[in-house]
Amino acid sequence: MSTSGEFGPVQVAAQAGRDTLIANAALPGGRVGDAIVRFTAGDRTNHWIVALAFICTALSGLALFHPSLFWLSNIFGGGPWTRVLHPFFGLTMVIGFAFLVFRFYGYNRMTAADWRALPHLGEVEAGRYNAGQKLLFLLWMTCLAVLLVTGFLFWRPYFAGYFPIPLIRVAALLHSFFAFVLISFVIGHVYFALSVRGSIWAMTRGTVTLGWAWRNHRAWFREVTRAARTRSGTD
């Protein structure tokens, strides 16, 4: 691993590829040191586009779901604007998530070992993603696929007119249910992001410390360090 001194810490992090070991990286608490790039600038941009679109979609959807939350429609300029914007927010989220799938699906395939690890999540050495994270990713893919299809079925005024009313009724019910599942598990996602310290740093600055990788994703730590060693051996 070679890092030349003319790059400041932040530049190094911005330029390095995913899963590479870098030196002189900015670390939490103002420290500078070795780190692993967990998310590239592209990964982070993609993630936060989806996150912002999710917030807008969820708030506008909740406004239309329960009368007690109709006041949320004021955020978007009133009831009609909320109705107009919600599907476009949702579409942004789904398209953004499709890019996340393109980036991260490969890491999130459930293996036989993952299924075995599921009941002992804290005890087994996790790869880049542990079995719970992989299941969450697959759950979100499912939710967003159902939300996309059912959403089109009652998107007025553009598409709903082409579908029979009994189908629209079922679509509306499924849309609400899968949105509820999605929102509930996003709450869980946010909880873990906040409570597992260093995760927010990973999704805002891109890097994690070696200790973080060792503690939370040890199998991934071993892969990254082994790859770095192999590479430095050929330099």
Sequence-distant (≥ 6) Cβ neighbours of residue 166 within 8 angstroms: none
| CA geometry: angle 178, 143, 175, nearest 5 deg | 35
Binding span for other proteins by CB under 8 A among 4-12, 46-54, 64-72, 133-141:
64-72
Least spacing, CB of residue 152 vs other proteins, in Å: 13
**30 touching other proteins, by CB under 8 A:** no
- Residue 34 φ then ψ, to 5°: -70, 145
The answer to whether the CB of 116 falls within 8 A of the CB of 107 is no
How far apart (Å, rounded) are the C-alpha atoms in residues 212 and 218?
9
What crossing angle do the helices spanning 41-65 and 165-195 adopt, rounded to 10°?
130
Number of residues binding to other proteins, judged by CB under 8 A = 55
Among the listed residues 47, 86, 175, 189, the single catalytic one is: 189
Query: Any idea what the Cα angle at residue 46 is, between residues 24 and 114, rounded to 5°?
Result: 85
User: Among residues 212, 218, 211, 215, which one has the least CA distance to residue 200?
Assistant: 212
Contact residue for other proteins among 79, 105, 110, 204 (CB under 8 A): 79
For position 2 contacting other proteins by CB under 8 A, the verdict is no
**189 annotated active-site:** yes
Rounded-to-10 torsion of CA 184, 216, 97, 165:
-30
Q: Which of residues 132-161 bind other proteins (CB under 8 A)?
A: 154, 156-157, 160-161
Sequence-ordered list of residues with C-beta below 8 angstroms from that of 130, at least 6 positions apart, any chain: 114, 117, 121, 124, 217
Shortest reach from residue 208's CB to other proteins, in Å: 8
Shortest CB 192 distance to other proteins, Å: 9
Which residue, 11 or 149, is less far from other proteins as judged by CB? 149
Rounded Cα–Cα distance for residues 114 and 126 (Å): 9
C-beta closer to other proteins: residue 32 or 105:
32
The minimum distance between CB 226 and other proteins, in angstroms, equals: 6
Which residues between 173 and 232 bind other proteins (CB under 8 A)? 173, 176-177, 180, 183-184, 187-188, 190-191, 194-198, 209-216, 221-222, 225-226, 229-230
Q: Which is nearer to other proteins, 115 or 191 (CB)?
A: 191
Catalytically active residues, by annotation: 189
Contacting residues toward other proteins, per CB under 8 A: 63-70, 73, 78-80, 82-84, 154, 156-157, 160-161, 165-166, 168-170, 172-173, 176-177, 180, 183-184, 187-188, 190-191, 194-198, 209-216, 221-222, 225-226, 229-230
